[in-house]
Amino acid sequence: MALGNRCDIVQMLESEEVTKICAPMVRYSKLAFRTLVRKYGCDLAFTPMIIAESFSQSQHARDADFTTSQADRPLVVQFAAKNGKYFADVAEMVAPYSDGVDLNCGCPQRWAIQEGYGACLIDKPELISDMVSQARNRITVYPFSVSVKIRIHDELRRTVDFCRQVEAAGVSFITVHGRTKAQRAEPVNVEAVRLIKENLSVPVIHNGDVTSLERMQDIVGATGVNGVMAARGILENPAMYAGHGVNREVLSDWVEIAMNHGTQFPCFHHHTHTMLQNCMSKPERRVFNTFQSTAAILDYLDHEYGISSDGSD
């Protein structure tokens, strides 16, 4: 059975309000975290990147990699794919439960590139165009978006040409991470995102260095993008889009949501540590990193913040 009401993501992006988005993050943009950030001003959330071939062939992979709920909308499911049939297959599978699929053409990790996924695909515009076209032709529900998330080339004209070719294939919108596949900590290239936005008709989303509401507003002013996508910034502060920092209310909501979703310890530990790291001293962070169970974290939150295991104060 299909879940939730369908959302026209393109219409959302083309509205006057800038769309605030939670990025696809391997291991971390799962249902519990998406539920949390939706409470604090996040308009649209992406799943973690899922390998399309495994998802299409294995029920176990589908059960492990894709979890959603009635309230988890609007939702885009991101896939790593290198074959048009597999991308169209998985798009068809998740269409009843989501509002769009996204093709990852930006992951710079070595394993992904060696397997033919992620950022290496920005050098294969014909392949990307074929995958977008096949997925678009397969989907029978409406509205449903087919998008791509990219990194930029060293030569920006190549990126503009790439985006135009993908646009012609029927892509709904494009997310641009303003770094090349070789870059990591260098400042994001806002000028590149502006250039791409000026040369396309479809909506463009900026990704990279969105670390605060003020930074988001600066980026929108400099680029004219339709939306902004945060990863590290929203991990550290799930209330970033609401314009305030992590407080007892945010922590309480996180505990309640995480417990209700049966969040596993490694994920619960990572999210909680990331939310608290800026208000803990180095010795406190070292102690926190020694915790080996969810119960230990809950005891810490109860002792330090007066937050009980059900999320209440």
Q: Which residues are catalytic?
A: 107
Among the listed residues 203, 196, 274, the one whose alpha carbon sits nearest the alpha carbon of residue 37: 274
Q: Decide if 271 contacts 258 (C-beta within 8 A).
A: yes
Report residue 174 CA to chain centroid gap.
Answer: 13
Report residue 120 CA to chain centroid gap.
Answer: 19
Residues 6+ apart with CB under 8 A from 288: 273, 276, 280, 297, 300
Among the listed residues 167, 225, 230, the one whose alpha carbon sits nearest the alpha carbon of residue 194: 225
Which tokens belong to 227?
Answer: 């939306």
Which tokens belong to 264?
Answer: 């596993």
CA distance 211 to 219: 11
Q: Is 312 left (phi over 0), alpha (psi -120 to 50) or beta?
A: beta
What torsion, rounded to 10 degrees, do the Cα atoms 93, 98, 102, 108 define? Answer: -100
Q: Which helix (H) or strand (E) holds 83?
A: none
Which tokens belong to 9?
Answer: 């993501």
Residues 6+ apart with CB under 8 A from 20: 41, 42, 43, 44, 216, 227, 228, 230, 241
Which tokens belong to 211?
Answer: 């670390």
Residues 6+ apart with CB under 8 A from 81: 52, 53, 87, 90, 103, 104, 117, 131
Which tokens belong to 117?
Answer: 């996924």
